[in-house]
Amino acid sequence: MKYFLLSCLLMLSVNAVAGSASVHWLGIEDYTDLKGGDGVKEDQYANEFFTLIEKEIKNISTSVLPSDYTMVIAIRDVDLAGDLSLVSYFGNQKLVRVIADEQPPRLNISYAILDKDGNEITSNAEIITDKKFRFRTNRNNGFAHERRTLRQWLTADLKERLKS
């Protein structure tokens, strides 16, 4: 993990703006579950997920991180909420994502928070999940469960780590 963080640090400018974030996707081809089911192009589905998650991280980091801090985050694995199931639909069978309580969203991440001089404030590797995800989300938005889980971690858990 140290080699990854060092390589990411080299890619970042030391003169970062307040609350900035850099997101890196590692081992995409080995992710546990990033498939959309029948009728959905896998590349398009994955790119939409990457775009929405990066936007979420960057938006929240501007309000969570102190000025002149930068977060380098690596997404190491993704397991979307629910599971792909074969469902009969008007006589045809299709693979669709069925959301169930026992299959919460899970993101395996590594992160480092850096000050304006590039010094590491804190870093860790975590698996972020939310077992009560079905009671907390508006399901009309793309990848709402995963975004909510990430938002909760960024605004609560990460804020707490920065206090210490």
Give residue-wise pLDDT tens across range 30-74.
Answer: 998 888 877 788 888 899 999 999 999 999 998 889 888 999 999
How far is the C-alpha of 154 from the C-alpha of 111, rounded, in Å? 11
- Sequence-separated (6 or more) residues with CB below 8 Å from residue 119: none
pLDDT per residue as tens digits for the range 108-127: 999 999 999 999 999 999 99
Average pLDDT (140-163) is 83
In degrees, rounded to 5, the angle at the alpha carbon of residue 153 between the alpha carbons of residues 152 and 155 is: 65
Q: Please report the pLDDT score of residue 69 as a whole number.
A: 92
Predicted local confidence at residue 41, as pLDDT: 85
Q: Give the whole-angstrom CA distance, residue 122 versus residue 13.
A: 18
Q: What is the per-residue pLDDT for 162?
A: 78
> What's the mean pLDDT when you consider all of the chain?
82
Q: Check residue 125 and give its pLDDT.
A: 95
pLDDT at 4: 53
Token digits of residue 61: 């980091």
Instruction: Tell me the per-residue pLDDT of 86-108, one tens digit each, with 9 for 90 and over.
Output: 888 788 888 888 887 788 899 99
Tell me the pTM.
Answer: 0.78
User: Residue 24 is inside which H or E element, if any?
Assistant: strand 20-25
**What pLDDT score was predicted for residue 76?**
97
Average pLDDT estimate for 130-143: 70
pLDDT tens digits for 22-36?
A: 999 999 999 988 888
Read off the pLDDT band of 14 (50, 70, 90). very low
